[in-house]
Amino acid sequence: MTAVMTNELPAFPFDWDGTRLPAEIEALRAEPVRKVRTIAGAEAWLVSSYELCRHVLEDPRFSLKDTSAPGAPRQYALTIPPHVVNNMGNITGAGLRKAVMKAINPKAPGLEEWLRARAGSLVDALVAEGAPGDLRSAYADPYSAGLHCRMLGIPEEDGARLLRSLDVAFMNAPHEIEAARLHWDRDIAYMTERLDDPATGGLMAELAALREDPEYAHLTDEMLATVGVTLFGAGVISTAGFLAMALVSVLTRPDVREALTAAGPGGVAGAMDELLRVNLSIGDGLPRLALEDVRLGEVDVRAGELVLVLVEAANHDPEHFPDPLVFRPDRENAAEHLSFGGGRHYCPATALGKRHAEIALETLLDRLPGLRLAVPVEQLVWRTNFMKRLPERLPAAW
């Protein structure tokens, strides 16, 4: 296809408004695999039906790792080193998966008590400062950052400096961004220093101790620091993103608010999968590169072509989720949503992410029952990064 023809393709992503599904999704029901033009100007196959999205995520002929290969068509320019794209694969290959899985265990001793105390202290600070409060920068971000600092065993006060990297680290841009490399180098240097700091605990201390084990002689300090930087970045941006957009749902959708409050104690936990299904915090596609020619629905995808899985369309596919716009906490198949991905790259921190959000939402609804959005949702400013629909500010009153 020529460049001119590529420019005539629909531009993707479609819409940055995180309060509604893009209008184009309904039209995709009749064409669940279609060509689009990415931010980077490349052609890609956009996959939108639940059945075909799941197929792509589970089929090993569609590779995440190879999306970072030189010359591969890009959804947007890389803002991390290419070898980091397949981070969990790298962690497993280096023999570090056991240590990482231990660190992200939601049943770790004392974790739940810490989450409740941290959520409570952040609500106390909001109340003390007075309405309106900023539920993103004063609640979702520090709550998620604090959790990941605790998990990594680094000082919680250092979370703010690491947070500053994320807007750039997860930004979508057609060309490489110098600031992304500078942020990356700075954060790698920080995590490397933590390896030698006797005050370091948690996962980073466990990784540091492996340097004394001959079995792990192949690991460099940079490799170990990369684990810390990527777990903080990907973990915080995803958990804070989901929490912020769950709050948008609670504050703008009476059906969601009523369902959660009517359920009483434990109601949030029972509705978590449905909250994840309707959540609009991803916005772009999960990228995969076809390793060989594959028949996908009615389309022949050729080896080397980029495929984008549109999670939010799959999660609202009426063929799989009847009446998909209706919020039903008791939906029998709600847990089949694709918000944590699927296949080999299913998010390993799923349980932790869900428990993190449950406690944060429970605390807010319990402590601030009159919580409401203090500006019309249309006036929120949405930032265009990986999580796509995180509001710059989420002012609320109570």
Query: Does 23-397 carry CATH code 3.40.720.10?
Result: no
Q: Domain extents for the chain?
A: 23-397
Predicted confidence (pLDDT) at residue 119 exceeds the cutoff of 70: yes
pLDDT at 146 over 90: yes
Strand partners, 79: none
Does position 265 have pLDDT exceeding 80, yes or no? no
Whole-prediction pTM value? 0.92
Give the 3-state DSSP-derived string for the chain, with helices as H, strands as E and coil as C.
Answer: CCHHHHHCCCECCCCCCCCCCCCHHHHHCCCCEEEEECCCCCEEEEECCHHHHHHHHHCCCEECHHHHCCCCCCCCCCCCCHHHCCHHHHHHHCCCHHHHHHHCCCCCCCHHHHHHHHHHHHHHHHHHHCCCEECHHHHHHHHHHHHHHHHHCCCHHHHHHHHCCHHHHCECCCCCCHHHHHHHHHHHHHHHHHHCCCCCCHHHHHHHHHHHCHHHCCCCHHHHHHHHHHHHHHHHHHHHHHHHHHHHHHHHCHHHHHHHHHCCCCHHHHHHHHHHHHCCCCCCCEEEEECCCEEECCEEECCCCEEEECHHHHCCCCCCCCCCCCCCCCCCCHHHCCCCCCHHHCCCCHHHHHHHHHHHHHHHHHHCCCCEECCCHHHCCECCECCCCCECCCEEEC
Tokens encoding 305 = 């072509």
The string of pLDDT tens digits covering residues 297-340 is: 999 999 999 999 999 999 999 999 999 999 999 999 999 999 98
pLDDT tens digit sequence for 191-248: 999 999 999 999 999 999 999 999 999 899 999 999 999 999 999 988 998 899 899 8
For residue 2, pLDDT over 70 is answered with: no
Prior bond of 13 cis (ω within 30°): yes
